[in-house]
Amino acid sequence: MAKGFQSIEQNHRAFIARQHVFFTASAAGTGRINLSPKDSACFRVLNANGAAYLDVTGSGNETAAHLLADGRLTFMFCAFEGAPLILRLYGRGLIVHRDSEEFSQLRAGAFAGIDRPGVRQIVKMDVEYVLTSCGYGVPLYDYTGEREQLDRWAEHKGEAGVEDYWREKNVVSQDGFETGIFEKA
């Protein structure tokens, strides 16, 4: 049932493009494993062995902390509509900071046209392995739309308010690992 690939193939790209949500998983050598749902509209396949997503403000910044501590990262996509399939991207991740030239280039190129409030960084992965599996156990769901609360929250806070929130909630992970959110590029 499962099949492995050394890179992201065209049919994988097409499947990813049809999904509305994906999950990101990361861990340090100790502490909790983090698993978070993300909006696929902010996800991009960069090339056959690269992917990235615009990371918007969240209640924590676990992925950034885990990537600094360890680097391992997994993205998972599930078909909730249509033919069943699960697709996982395994690799090494890094954080692209807001004040870096790479952030500006990626945002203008790969993420052109996306102007979400509260974007704190880009999570980028060097994809080492792709795994597909049947997805027979994933239930069918109907997509009814995006939630708007996070964007409204960030717009209400404004840039300075969001940055204050990062200082309060996103500098250190739940397990005490630094996230590097204010590191200079």
CA distance 21 to 38: 6
CA distance 156 to 92: 35
The predicted model gives 161-177 an average pLDDT of 96
pLDDT in tens, 76-104: 999 999 999 999 999 999 999 999 999 99
Checking if the pLDDT of 1 tops 90, the result is no
Burial class (CB in 10 A: 0-12, 13-18, 19+), 76: middle
pLDDT in tens, 31-61: 999 999 999 999 999 999 999 999 999 999 9
pTM as predicted: 0.96
Burial class (CB in 10 A: 0-12, 13-18, 19+), 180: middle
Instruction: Supply the DSSP string of 105-140, one letter for each residue.
Output: HHHHHTTTT---TTEEEEEEEEEEEEEEE--TTSPP
Whether the CB-CB separation of 33 and 146 falls below 8 Å is answered with no
